[in-house]
Chain A
């Protein structure tokens, strides 16, 4: 079943056309590895889907409901979560960072604490619960960002190179979390160069090259 469908989506920076995608359909519960050269527009595409950038042209449809890019609808922001390549953590504790989205959704304190506790365990962050983010390593920050997204049980998860610039151990830990996250309840799009991410089980592939979206392997979605 189609969850998120984008059509005639184009984006240019000045004279340079970054991409023009005829049709991109993401099916519910499937995971996609978005590959392409540096500068192909992978991050920009994810940011457009997350409502952080506006395309020059294009139509969007989510769960059989059309939406505009500007203003990006609030209801859609609650369905789609985007995680930066180098995640930003607010200047508060790890637990408060994880609770941020729950607070924004008006979840009451008791339930919030319960869900944060589950997320802390899920991301193996028990020992860092009250640590300020400036004291965390790159891998730990990535795990906090994943826990912060996981706790919101998003319908669509957009990850921008989650294993880039991490040492081997942090990479393995992050990869394990990504694998767990990409379950049947979540549609995930992961921009990456990492073969281990691309070859995760049930991962479909989207390839952005020359401004066009190509499909490879067992990918059924795409243009």
Chain B
């Protein structure tokens, strides 16, 4: 009896395993056939996230440096708030932004809702706390003699700032990788303010969610593979540079 049950179990599992292999096979075919819809989604995802990172990185790193270097009233409260925002759900950021950009919102007249610009703004808001908090921590953790040496050698304030950022460059790069990983894979905000419009605001995470809900696993898996490759590529590049510098 037990043998029969296990045989039935094995028989019922076999088609599923085959389906998964088939789906992965179809996904790879989709990827390598250069499917325009699929690669269009990848292009939207990458361009939105890269633009967001280009805006957020100097802003976040600059704010992190200032918070670490300049004392002002309310600084401690601001730091705690930013550290708290690290854990903010992306869908809440999306909701807030939606309320601001919707027709009745403060910025409603700008007609940005359901555009790539709105997605970029959302991703900038998601990346900023990560970049600020990590940069702040990197600068605070740097050897205080670095700053003093730069000052003692006659560097201007801007050169001192640049020197400090160069000295903690790997921590800053880790912050950028972390923030990029967060924005490229976030779905909540992109869905809320982008609207998942095909060819316009449909990015990898929103497309995976949609295709999976429709039962089209092949495209979901293909996009998932791209997402993994991008994440691995970014982290490998970081590890390569870090390793090269230590040799």
What is A's interface to B at a CB cutoff of 8 Å?
50-52, 74, 77-78, 81-84, 86-88, 90-91, 100-101, 103-105, 148-149, 152
Contact = CB atoms under 8 A, between A and B. Distances in A.
Nearest to B144: A88
A51 B151 CA distance: 9
Contacts of B163: 90, 100
A104 B152 contact: no
Contacts of B167: 90-91
A104 B145 CA distance: 17
A74 B148 contact: no
Nearest to A154: B154
28 contacts: A52-B151, A52-B152, A78-B154, A82-B148, A82-B152, A83-B152, A84-B148, A84-B149, A86-B145, A88-B143, A88-B149, A90-B146, A90-B166, A90-B167, A91-B166, A91-B167, A91-B245, A100-B150, A100-B153, A100-B163, A101-B153, A101-B154, A101-B155, A104-B153, A104-B154, A104-B156, A104-B159, A152-B154
A88 B153 contact: no
Interface residues of B, number: 17
A50 B152 contact: yes
A37 to B, nearest CB: 23
Interface string B195-226: 00000000000000000000000000000000
Interface in B133-167: 143, 145-146, 148-156, 159, 163, 166-167
A88 B146 contact: yes
Contacts, number: 55
A81 B152 CA distance: 6
Nearest to A86: B145
Nearest to B246: A134
A74 B157 CA distance: 10
- Which of A86, A88, A90 has the largest count of B CB atoms less than 10 A from its CB? A88
Given A50-B152, A148-B153, A84 B166 contact: no
Contacts of B143: 88
A149 B152 CA distance: 9
A77 B149 contact: no
Contacts of A52: 148, 151-152
Interface string B73-89: 00000000000000000
Nearest to A53: B148
Contacts of B152: 50, 52, 77, 81-83
A122 to B, nearest CB: 17
Contacts of B151: 51-52, 77
Nearest to A47: B148
B150 to A, nearest CB: 8
A105 B148 contact: no
A78 B149 CA distance: 13
B41 to A, nearest CB: 40
A102 to B, nearest CB: 9
A78 B153 CA distance: 7
A87 B152 CA distance: 12
CB-CB nearest 7 A-B residue pairs: A88-B145, A101-B153, A104-B155, A82-B152, A78-B154, A88-B149, A77-B154
Contacts of A90: 146, 149, 163, 166-167
Contacts of B149: 84, 87-88, 90
A91 B152 CA distance: 17
A51 B163 CA distance: 19
